[in-house]
Amino acid sequence: MIPFNKPPYTGKEQQYVIAAMQSSNMSGDGPFSKKCQAWFEQRLGAPKTLLTPSCTAALEMAAILIDIQPGDEVIMPSYTFVSTANAFALRGAKVVFVDIRSDTMNIDETKIEAAITDKTKAIVPVHYAGVGCEMDTIMAIAERHGLFVVEDAAQGMMSSYKGRALGSIGHLGAFSFHETKNYTSGGEGGLLIINDSRFKERAEIIREKGTNRSQFFRGMVDKYSWVDIGSSFLPSELQAAYLWGQLEKAEEINDFRLSAWQYYMDKLAPLATAGKIQLATVPEQCQHNAHMFYLKVTGLTERGQLLAYLKTKNILAVFHYVPLHTAKAGSNFGRFHGEDRYTSKDSACLIRLPMFYGISKDDLKHVVENIFLFYKVNK
């Protein structure tokens, strides 16, 4: 079976994880965590980054940092992972979903302004498949209305928009190092990116269970105590050590994925030209990271048929997301503003092909050939 995903592994992780184990310093913010954070700060040009146990946790921190209160509204796409919405619902916010664009599956920036009310506090663009949202427009809207922008850049590591790293454009950003993402910190992990320096100090406090422990370690206060709400938002050193093994090979992993992605794109292009499938669009101003290779078929039935067909050929392709506004919690905690023109329709057509660091040329070829066969036999 060609798996849908294999967690990236470079060979260096093992050595670093063992080093962390032997250092007697396995809790958070040890040497490997500091190295990773410095790498991200440099790479992203962000004043501060903090490793977290997950992107979910980073988004939850962001919701606390921008002081989301019950009744506040937060605008985001419905076509996203539950954590994007949950982080804000947990703080009592009402989630306001707007439609996506069909070409990138990203939030339709032209639909945002109409969804703003006097309760709106933030916009949360999700960079789907590591392809940037229209950030200039989104930042301008936020500025006009005094709103925060929290980028869900879970899938966007190594991607950029107009030369700026995804996650580094809004006030705050969040990455994921879950094993299904381009880089992993041993299965679970994330990063909070603080671009607005106002949040630096409070972010450290929230992450350290609401204490000023970080300031204590820097010698800024003579004892540490409980100063704010917070939780345990630190990953272990073992996770940071694992991640460091991947960051050292960040470019190599990225190049590999991009070439696999391009192979699919080139080979499947004739099917798109023939009108059988629709392929992703990467706008000119976006450099992507080949997080995902997806295609869109004509509907739910055909999607089921193609997935089942590929399974008989030992290929595991998958789909996601069920739009959040159609889910039980989505209607409890949110509402859809405006017309659902593409969210439901396009999400029902989408298929993700096997894509991971190390996927062989033979496997890529096998996937492409069988998609062609499916259309020959069935259409």
Ligand X SMILES: *Cc1c(COP(=O)(O)O)cnc(C)c1O
Nearer to ligand X, 92 or 187 (CB): 187
Distance CA 68, CA 90 (A): 9
Of 9, 79, 81, 374, the residue at the interface with ligand X (CB under 6 A) is 81
Q: In whole angstroms, how close is the CB of 338 to ligand X at the nearest point?
A: 21
Q: In whole angstroms, how close is the CB of 127 to ligand X at the nearest point?
A: 8
Examine residue 56 and tell whether it contacts ligand X (CB under 6 A): yes
What part of residues 180-219 is at the interface with ligand X (CB under 6 A)? 190
Of 49, 106, 120, 176, the residue at the interface with ligand X (CB under 6 A) is 176
Q: In whole angstroms, how close is the CB of 89 to ligand X at the nearest point?
A: 14
Q: In whole angstroms, how close is the CB of 80 to ligand X at the nearest point?
A: 5
Q: In whole angstroms, how close is the CB of 290 to ligand X at the nearest point?
A: 15
Examine residue 83 and tell whether it contacts ligand X (CB under 6 A): yes
Nearer to ligand X, 157 or 271 (CB): 157
Query: What is the x/- site pattern for ligand X, positions 88-127, by CB under 6 A?
Result: --------------------------------------x-
Binding range to ligand X, per CB under 6 A, among 42-50, 148-156, 258-266, 306-314: 148-156
> In degrees rounded to 5, what are phi and psi of residue 96?
-110, 110
Q: In whole angstroms, how close is the CB of 370 to ligand X at the nearest point?
A: 26
Nearer to ligand X, 89 or 271 (CB): 89
Q: In whole angstroms, how close is the CB of 128 to ligand X at the nearest point?
A: 7
Distance CA 168, CA 43 (A): 10
Distance CA 254, CA 34 (A): 23
Per-residue three-class SS string for the chain: CECCCCCCCCCCHHHHHHHHHHCCCCCCCCHHHHHHHHHHHHHHCCCEEEEECCHHHHHHHHHHHCCCCCCCEEEEECCCCHHHHHHHHCCCCEEEEECECCCCCCECHHHCHHHCCCCEEEECCECHHHCCCCHHHHHHHHHHHCCEEEEECCCCCCCEECCEECCCCCCEEEEECCCCCCCCCCCCCEEEEECCHHHHHHHHHHHECCECHHHHHCCCCCCCCECCCCCECCCCHHHHHHHHHHHCCHHHHHHHHHHHHHHHHHHHHHHHHCCCCEECCCCCCEECCCCCCEEECCCHHHHHHHHHHHHHCCECCECCCCCHHHCHHHHHHEEECCCCCCHHHHHCCEEECCCCCCCCHHHHHHHHHHHHHHHHHHC
Residue 36 near residue 238 (C-beta atoms within 8 A): no
Q: In whole angstroms, how close is the CB of 276 to ligand X at the nearest point?
A: 27
Binding range to ligand X, per CB under 6 A, among 49-57, 253-261, 305-313, 324-332: 49-57
Examine residue 159 and tell whether it contacts ligand X (CB under 6 A): no
Of 33, 37, 49, 54, the residue at the interface with ligand X (CB under 6 A) is 54
Of 60, 134, 152, 346, the residue at the interface with ligand X (CB under 6 A) is 152
Q: In whole angstroms, how close is the CB of 31 to ligand X at the nearest point?
A: 23
Query: What is the x/- site pattern for ligand X, positions 229-268, by CB under 6 A?
Result: ----------------------------------------
List residues binding ligand X (CB under 6 A): 54-56, 80-81, 83-84, 126, 152, 154-155, 176, 178, 190
